[in-house]
Amino acid sequence: MSANGSAILNVDEAVVKFWVDRERTITAVNGVSLHIAAGETLGLVGESGCGKSTLGRAILRLVELYSGSVSFLGKGIGSLARSDLRRLRRDLAVVFQDPRGSLDPRMRVGDIVAEPLRVHRLASGAELDRRVSSLLEQVGLGAEYAKRRPTELSGGQQQRVGIARALVTKPRLVILDEPVSALDVSVQAQVINLLQGLQRELGAAFLFIAHNLAVVRHLSDRVAVMYLGEIVEEGSSHGLFARPRHPYTRGLVASVLRPDLEAPARLEEVARLTPGEVPSMLDPPTGCKYHTRCLYVQDICRIERPLLEEVATTSGHRVACHFWKSIPDPIPIARAR
Amino acid sequence: MSAPTIAGPPPAPALAGVEGPPGTGRWVLWFWVALLGVFLVAAFTGDLLAPYDPFDQAPVDRLSPPMTVTERGLHIFGTDPLGRDSFSNIILGTRLTLLVGLLATAIGTVVGTLIGAAAGYYGGWVDRIGMRLAEAQTAMPMFLVAILLLSLLGPSVINLVVVLPTLIWPTFARIIRAETLRLRSTAFIEAAQALGCTGWTIMRRHLIPNLAGRIGVLVVVSVGHVMLAEAGLSFLGVGVQPPDITWGLLISLGRQYLAVAWWLTIIPGLFLGLVVLSINMIGRHFERNLGAAG
Amino acid sequence: MNAAPLLEVRDLKVSFPTARGMVRAVDGVSFRLQPEEALGIVGESGCGKTVTALSILRLFGPATRVRIEGAVLFQDRNLLKLSRKEMLQIRGVQIGMVFQDPLTALDPVMPVGEQIAESIRFHLHFDPKRARARTLELLDLVGIPDPRQRIDDLPHSFSGGMRQRLVIAMAIACGPKVLIADEATTALDVTVQAQILRLINDLRRELSMALIVITHDLGVIAATCENVQVMYAGKAAEYAGVAHILEGGSHPYTQGLMRLVPRLDQDRHHRLRPIDGTPLTVVDAWQGCRFAPRCEHAWERCRVDEPGLLPLGPDHASACWLVEEPSRRSADRRAANYQPGAVDHVS
């Protein structure tokens, strides 16, 4: 899917750097490009330190880009004046990871959900109340929750409020940063179902950032895998998980322990596929960032960073590896039934 | 050699206790509130409450001790060098004492909070300038500076209300700035930024309400400082001038008669102490029961 | 099992007084652990699994007001009745424990070698030289590369997975008979999780230890455990072999859990079947089955009588009246017993 015509979000070679102390910087995002078309969900996965959350923040312009560009609805976010940026935020919403922390403990739920409408002057009075109530119903809470305070709600309920707040202005793109990680499994399932339903109803595009692959599988049309600030593989949710090409993706997919009886036997193989740990961002590897852990490393991997290339034309499945063609095909690990 | 314990902190579930240390129960609170209330009433209705016209001089009865009966009646707190009733003086002094104290505190609170919040939220040069100002002020012996300023500007109630806040705003600025820095990285502030709020809106709607508790505690403590400072300045002659009365002024005027007429100084001083104490006790009660918010 | 168990927990009850009342974190839990057996305790937050583990080793701080009843039998002694001194001979020596966050488990200013050696010197009375040698062995055993170089490093110079290995080294330093792992891999990246689980499995075999794995993740259970106890609201819901649990189990809660965990091999549009409601925390008293408000099969008996663990076969039990009345299993999806007022239907 290389045509960007209908893309509402275009990220082009984004780089984000942070100061660690006076002299050192880390490059949290190192030349990432991606696009999201209207109405589709892109899942962004990776482990700790891969930069996915930072990328999300950069798209929201909560952190500044060092270089590269982000354009949303055709407008470059980096160059917008403050007031234009604020107007754009009507169409760009976010749901955060920490359900408790992302809601102002002093406000009532109704006011929290209504705030975007007030700030952008989209509704007031009875119309505002109506929209807030209808949204609270849509996320599975009742309209009567409007009077409650966040501290009275459970984690799952708080997260629903966060989702309602994000959707109240009918945004074109919603960024969800680990929206279910902090929830219990049984509550996670409820919120996943809710999000699936909302995806169908609303037609908005979603950027879904998570480290839990199975959750991402359920909510994404396409998936991009990040490692130490770079995208190493991207493709359709089905294709990528059924047949991952990048050694890291393979290890990642294999590491998802399936609750079945083959798990102990596969543990050996899994642990073998991804030896070592993610290197520190302060001292990243040269060339292909994954080369320090890769079973198929060659000299060129240490020197030259591989670029994303298509696995098959128009498949939309791209991988950044010098030797993806010659890596023996593993037994398919995750096949949709 | 100490015995090694198992790796890891055992998580202890939160135990909610409702009782606090002695002296902070509800009854005590009502006592102090009532006491303060009495003073507030006196401030508003002083003219009516005062049994005598405080300007009514009767040199014959000068420097009478408390509970003296003269031909005018009973003087509960005695009379001053000109025979005026002390009790009436004190009642009438309540108004200005509280007014100046509370108003100056309010101004200092607003200025300090705004500067501190802006410094914490925006950082950069706003932070640097704000904090340099606060530090500069703190480095100076403010009381002496206040004396200097008032001497130059001329002592008056208005100048007093302008100068007194300088004593307290740096404390507010510092503490509010620290709290703002802490809150700024919480998710709900980020969420407000993400949905398009301006910095000012965030401060107004999210930051300050969540700091209300902390501000309240500071206010309570600051009122005491300001009142005592006013008393001191008036005592030194650069504060309130007659015919305006404050307790500080009364204390000042009674100073020279301390040996022969202790009531002129001690009793207003006592009242001043009581007001400051009651405000502090009320503040302590709320501080204990603050809870998670603020 | 006929052989005498290595560790037996009998009717353990742990409660904490709070402003809301006595929270019954663990309310009558029993299980047995055979030598070298791997037992998993699985449940969501608030089910009491961590409190159970802490109670075995009596790890509540002195200031915590907690009431513990029941018995924890280990080597013919009731651990709950031992003195502090006697418990010191158990912790770290006979029973080791690994916690979730390796960073807070390690002293940040003490070299890691010393932290491991501390336990060895105190319990086994090794002299410093011998202790150091043993520490090097342990570092090698848990997979720390270049142990000689790293033995004097501070914890912060290790990555998360390495730190967890260090904590494991500390826990097994004296060769305990039981290792308790409480959410030991939850805070780690998933690729590292597999390595640590493999390490734990290998160590269990090499050191002939029994293992108690406490987790909310059924995948971790599948990879490490032979038997599983599912906990809910402070009580055991089901006890069975891991194979049966992974097939779905018998208790409605277990079945619900298996149905709602998202899996990679499911289709993009697969709808999970969540359980209505929120996990329960019991305060003071509760009537009837704890899972009844969320259960799709519940009927009147469930609301009134609380089922104990009823046997379904050898080494298989379920705390559910369906054991006695299997015909009551309903095909209807919705929680039959759901009352809007009693429990929020939405969590």
The one-letter amino acid at B61:
D
Asked if residues C23 and B13 have their Cβ atoms less than 8 Å apart, the reply is yes
Q: What is the ipTM of this complex?
A: 0.85
The whole-angstrom separation of Cα B52 and Cα B71 is 12
**Which whole number is the average pLDDT over A207-222?**
91
- Whether chain A has a CB inside 8 Å of the CB on B187: the answer is yes
Q: For chain C, what are the domain ranges?
A: 7-225, 235-337
The whole-angstrom separation of Cα A247 and Cα C255 is 35
Asked if residues A225 and A252 have their Cβ atoms less than 8 Å apart, the reply is yes
- Rounded to the nearest angstrom, the minimum Cα separation between B185 and chain C is 22
Q: Say which residues have a Cβ less than 8 Å from residue B284's Cβ, sequence separation at least 6.
A: B24
Asked if residues B130 and B172 have their Cβ atoms less than 8 Å apart, the reply is no
> What local confidence, expressed as pLDDT, does residue B232 receive?
83
The whole-angstrom separation of Cα B273 and Cα B264 is 15
**Which whole number is the average pLDDT over A189-195?**
90
The whole-angstrom separation of Cα C113 and Cα C150 is 8
**B-interface mutation test, from A59, A115, A118, A178, most B Cβ less than 10 A away:** A115
Name every chain A residue with its beta carbon within 8 A of the beta carbon of C44: 184-186
> What local confidence, expressed as pLDDT, does residue C87 receive?
87
Around Cβ A329, how many Cβ atoms within 10 Å? Answer: 7
The whole-angstrom separation of Cα B94 and Cα B104 is 15
Q: Is the pLDDT of residue B174 over 90?
A: yes
Chain A residue with Cα closest to C270 = A218
> What local confidence, expressed as pLDDT, does residue C347 receive?
45
- Whether chain B has a CB inside 8 Å of the CB on A307: the answer is no
Q: How confident is the model at residue A280 (pLDDT cuts 50, 70, 90)?
A: confident
Asked if residues C203 and C179 have their Cβ atoms less than 8 Å apart, the reply is yes
- Contact state of B188 with A104 under an 8 Å Cβ cutoff: yes
Q: How confident is the model at residue C344 (pLDDT cuts 50, 70, 90)?
A: very low
- Whether chain C has a CB inside 8 Å of the CB on B3: the answer is yes
Q: pLDDT digits over B187-213, tens only?
A: 888 888 888 888 888 888 888 888 888
Q: Where are the alpha helices (DSSP H) in chain C?
A: 49-56, 84-88, 102-105, 112-124, 128-141, 147-150, 160-172, 190-207, 218-224, 242-246, 252-260, 300-304
> What local confidence, expressed as pLDDT, does residue C1 receive?
47
Asked if residues C56 and C9 have their Cβ atoms less than 8 Å apart, the reply is yes
Q: In sequence order, what DSSP letters do the residues of A36-93 get, joined into one string?
A: EETT-EEEEE--TTSSHHHHHHHHTTSS--SEEEEEETTEEGGG--HHHHHHHTTTEE
> Which tokens sit at C25?
């974190």
Name every chain A residue with its beta carbon within 8 A of the beta carbon of C201: 264, 267
Q: How confident is the model at residue A324 (pLDDT cuts 50, 70, 90)?
A: confident
Asked if residues C43 and C49 have their Cβ atoms less than 8 Å apart, the reply is yes
What's the mean per-residue pLDDT of chain C? 86
The strand pairing partners of A45, in sequence order, are A210, A225
Q: How confident is the model at residue A161 (pLDDT cuts 50, 70, 90)?
A: very high
**Which whole number is the average pLDDT over B65-76?**
75
From the centroid of its chain, how far is CA C228? 10
> What local confidence, expressed as pLDDT, does residue C21 receive?
81
- Taking alpha carbons only, the member of B267, B273, B269, B280 closest to residue B33 is B280
> What local confidence, expressed as pLDDT, does residue A199 receive?
87
The whole-angstrom separation of Cα B43 and Cα B98 is 7
Q: For A325-334, B44-53, B152-161, C202-211, which range has the lowest pLDDT when averaged over its residues?
A: A325-334
> What local confidence, expressed as pLDDT, does residue B43 receive?
81
Q: How confident is the model at residue C271 (pLDDT cuts 50, 70, 90)?
A: confident
Around Cβ B69, how many Cβ atoms within 10 Å? Answer: 10
What's the mean per-residue pLDDT of chain B? 79
Q: How confident is the model at residue A336 (pLDDT cuts 50, 70, 90)?
A: very low
Q: How confident is the model at residue C272 (pLDDT cuts 50, 70, 90)?
A: confident
**Which whole number is the average pLDDT over C88-92?**
86
The whole-angstrom separation of Cα B97 and Cα B233 is 12
Task: Give A135-142 contacts, CB < 8 A, sequence gap 24+.
Answer: A135/A164, A135/A167, A135/A168, A136/A109, A136/A110, A136/A164, A138/A164, A138/A167, A138/A198, A138/A201, A139/A163, A139/A164, A139/A167, A139/A194, A139/A198, A140/A190, A140/A194, A140/C346, A141/A109, A141/C346
| CATH fold label, C7-225 | Rossmann fold (3.40.50)
What's the mean per-residue pLDDT of chain A? 87
> What local confidence, expressed as pLDDT, does residue B152 receive?
87
Q: Is the pLDDT of residue B19 over 70?
A: no
- Whether chain B has a CB inside 8 Å of the CB on A106: the answer is yes
Q: pLDDT digits over B7-18, tens only?
A: 333 333 333 333
> What local confidence, expressed as pLDDT, does residue C102 receive?
84
Name every chain A residue with its beta carbon within 8 A of the beta carbon of C242: 261
> What local confidence, expressed as pLDDT, does residue B17 receive?
35
- Contact state of B206 with A87 under an 8 Å Cβ cutoff: no
Full strand arrangement of the beta sheet holding A7-19: A25-37, A7-19, A67-72, A75-76
Around Cβ B184, how many Cβ atoms within 10 Å? Answer: 17
> Which tokens sit at B198?
């301006």
Q: pLDDT digits over C136-170, tens only?
A: 999 999 999 889 999 999 998 898 889 999 999 99
- Contact state of C88 with B3 under an 8 Å Cβ cutoff: yes
Q: How confident is the model at residue A335 (pLDDT cuts 50, 70, 90)?
A: very low
Q: Is the pLDDT of residue C28 over 70?
A: yes
Q: Say which residues have a Cβ less than 8 Å from residue C278's Cβ, sequence separation at least 6.
A: A154, A156, A186, A187, C343, C344, C347
Q: pLDDT digits over B115-161, tens only?
A: 999 999 988 899 999 999 998 888 888 788 888 888 888 877 888 88
Is the bond preceding B10 in cis, omega lying within 30 degrees of 0? no
- Is A132 or A332 the better-scoring residue by pLDDT? A132
> What local confidence, expressed as pLDDT, does residue A2 receive?
39
> What local confidence, expressed as pLDDT, does residue B263 receive?
83
- Contact state of C105 with B5 under an 8 Å Cβ cutoff: no
- Whether chain B has a CB inside 8 Å of the CB on C127: the answer is no
Q: Which of A154, A212, A336 sits opposite C267 (nearest CB)?
A: A336
Angle at B144 between CA B140 and CA B145, to 5 degrees: 65
- Rounded to the nearest angstrom, the minimum Cα separation between A201 and chain B is 22
> What local confidence, expressed as pLDDT, does residue A331 receive?
53
- Contact state of A162 with B191 under an 8 Å Cβ cutoff: yes
Q: Is the pLDDT of residue A233 over 90?
A: yes
> What local confidence, expressed as pLDDT, does residue B215 receive?
87
> What local confidence, expressed as pLDDT, does residue B129 receive?
92
Q: Is the pLDDT of residue C207 over 90?
A: yes
**Which whole number is the average pLDDT over C249-277?**
85
As a whole-number percent, the residues of chain A with pLDDT over 70 amount to 96
Name every chain B residue with its beta carbon within 8 A of the beta carbon of A87: 196
> What local confidence, expressed as pLDDT, does residue B26 receive?
74
- Whether chain A has a CB inside 8 Å of the CB on B195: the answer is yes
Q: Is the pLDDT of residue A245 over 80?
A: yes
- Whether chain C has a CB inside 8 Å of the CB on B292: the answer is no
Angle separating helix axes B263-288 and B247-254, nearest 10 degrees: 140
The whole-angstrom separation of Cα A41 and Cα A179 is 14
**Which whole number is the average pLDDT over A225-249?**
92
Cα Rg of chain A (Å, integer): 21
**Which whole number is the average pLDDT over A163-172?**
92
- Rounded to the nearest angstrom, the minimum Cα separation between C191 and chain A is 5
Which chains reach chain B with 3 or more Cβ–Cβ distances below 8 angstroms?
A: A, C
> What local confidence, expressed as pLDDT, does residue B18 receive?
38
- Rounded to the nearest angstrom, the minimum Cα separation between B5 and chain C is 7
> What local confidence, expressed as pLDDT, does residue A129 receive?
92
The one-letter amino acid at A325:
K
> What local confidence, expressed as pLDDT, does residue A168 receive?
92
Place of tokens 């029941």: C70
> What local confidence, expressed as pLDDT, does residue C2 receive?
55
Residue C132's alpha-carbon distances to B278, C91, C97, C121, C155, in angstroms, are 64, 21, 22, 9, 17
- Contact state of B195 with A105 under an 8 Å Cβ cutoff: no
Q: Is A318 strand, coil or helix?
A: strand
Residue B143's alpha-carbon distances to A316, B109, B166, B236, B269, in angstroms, are 74, 18, 9, 11, 19
Q: pLDDT digits over A133-153, tens only?
A: 999 999 988 888 999 999 888
> What local confidence, expressed as pLDDT, does residue B54 receive?
65
- Contact state of A106 with B186 under an 8 Å Cβ cutoff: no
The whole-angstrom separation of Cα B210 and Cα A41 is 36
Cα-based torsion angle of the residue sequence C320, C325, C331, C334 in order, rounded to the nearest 10 degrees? -40
**Which whole number is the average pLDDT over C217-232?**
93
Q: Is the pLDDT of residue C187 over 50?
A: yes
Q: Which of C63, C122, C170 sits opposite B3 (nearest CB)?
A: C122
Chain A residue with Cα closest to C188 = A48
> What local confidence, expressed as pLDDT, does residue B1 receive?
30
Q: For A38-52, A105-119, C253-267, which range has the lowest pLDDT when averaged over its residues?
A: C253-267
The whole-angstrom separation of Cα C280 and Cα C292 is 11
Q: Where are the alpha helices (DSSP H) in chain A?
A: 52-59, 82-88, 109-119, 125-138, 155-167, 185-202, 213-219, 237-242, 247-255, 263-273, 299-303
Q: What is the largest CA-CA distance in chain C?
A: 68
- Rounded to the nearest angstrom, the minimum Cα separation between B4 and chain C is 6
> What local confidence, expressed as pLDDT, does residue B287 receive?
66
The whole-angstrom separation of Cα C64 and Cα A122 is 52
The whole-angstrom separation of Cα C239 and Cα C249 is 9
The whole-angstrom separation of Cα B19 and Cα B28 is 13
> Which tokens sit at C282?
């019991």
- Contact state of A255 with C191 under an 8 Å Cβ cutoff: yes
Full strand arrangement of the beta sheet holding A309-310: A92-95, A173-177, A205-210, A41-45, A222-227, A230-236, A318-319, A309-310
